[in-house]
Amino acid sequence: MTDDLNETCRQTAYRNEADYQRMRELLLEIYRLTGQNVAWDVVRLDSYRYGRYWQGERDNDRSWTADVGLWETAAGKLVAIAHPENDNDWFLDMHPDYDHLAPPMLDWIARRHEEKRPSATAEWPLNIVIHAELTGLAALLAGRGFADKGAAEVTRTHPLVGPVVMGELAAGYGERPFNLADPADREQRALIANLVFGATAPPDAYPAKNLAPTWHESWGIFTAAGEAAAYCTIWLDENRTGCFEPVGTHPDHRRRGLARAMMQRGLRRLQELGAQCVTVGTGYDMDANQLYAALGFSQVEVFHRWQNKM
């Protein structure tokens, strides 16, 4: 980490839609400068806003922005963002020339996290999730009493060069994109997501999700009766990086190669759209990593969860 403060920066709250665009631009710039997903990418940010907080988009109530801390230069350039993903996991997205902002960012996160404690006696651990190669930040966390709880998540990348190998669908299945303007398709999309991942967004959430700048298409494999058997959503950002988020197979239709076939079709579609590479993220020990590796997604980014019980 940089020892000298090269430029005076100020912390500010999220103010308006222009700040959201600045956040997106910073994440895109970090990726271009580092060639790695050392921070969130814009797909994850868009998914957070338009997916997790779809009701706020519908109702024009963006309460999630109260948990966003911004750091900008005297000239107004945004160079760092602090934010959570859930109640206890927080992230620091820093321009590589401004990693010296980590200490005040951690101070701000600790204060904001404590303000959100549900009760005085509630156990309220603070987790900071960081890229495994950010060794300076890891040392800073260790010095502040955080413990490394191990690898928490991984992002895999598939370079889109050459033709995409396409497997045949099992007999009795067909493929098509979901039509999220159709209530029946929204019901199917919500149903299969709920079966795969537990409680997720209801059918009414999908029109809001579709507003995300990087959301592109949600594809499905369907039975002859029209039931969704597998699905994936494909995203594409301004760096021409595609993303699968999420991918899932109905429990009654597993072990038939549907997830593999779904992702192969998604890779081909993203290639047609101009993507140069595709990412997929998951938990570090998830079984899905075996599928992703078999499809040619290499493990490139590992993130650790550091915890301080407060």
**How many Å apart are CA 189 and CA 230, to the nearest integer?**
9
pTM of the model: 0.94
Fold match, 9-151 / 161-275: yes
How remote is the C-alpha of 93 from its chain's centroid?
13
- In CATH terms, the superfamily for domain 9-151 is Gcn5-related N-acetyltransferase (GNAT) (3.40.630.30)
Q: What is the DSSP letter of 173?
A: E
**How many Å apart are CA 239 and CA 214, to the nearest integer?**
11
Going residue by residue through the chain (310 aa), what tens digit of pLDDT does each one get? 444 445 689 999 999 999 999 999 999 999 999 999 998 999 999 999 999 999 999 999 999 999 999 999 999 999 999 999 999 999 999 999 999 999 999 999 999 999 999 999 999 999 999 999 999 999 999 999 999 999 999 999 999 998 998 889 999 999 999 999 999 999 999 999 999 988 778 999 999 988 999 999 999 999 999 999 999 999 999 999 999 999 999 999 999 999 999 999 999 999 999 999 999 999 998 888 999 999 999 988 999 999 997 6
- What separation in angstroms does the CA of 178 have from each of 29, 31, 46, 120? 32, 30, 20, 46
Q: What is the dihedral of CA 70, 76, 80, 84, to 10 degrees?
A: 20
Domain segments of the chain: what residues?
9-151, 161-275
Domain 161-275 part of CATH 3.40.50.300: no
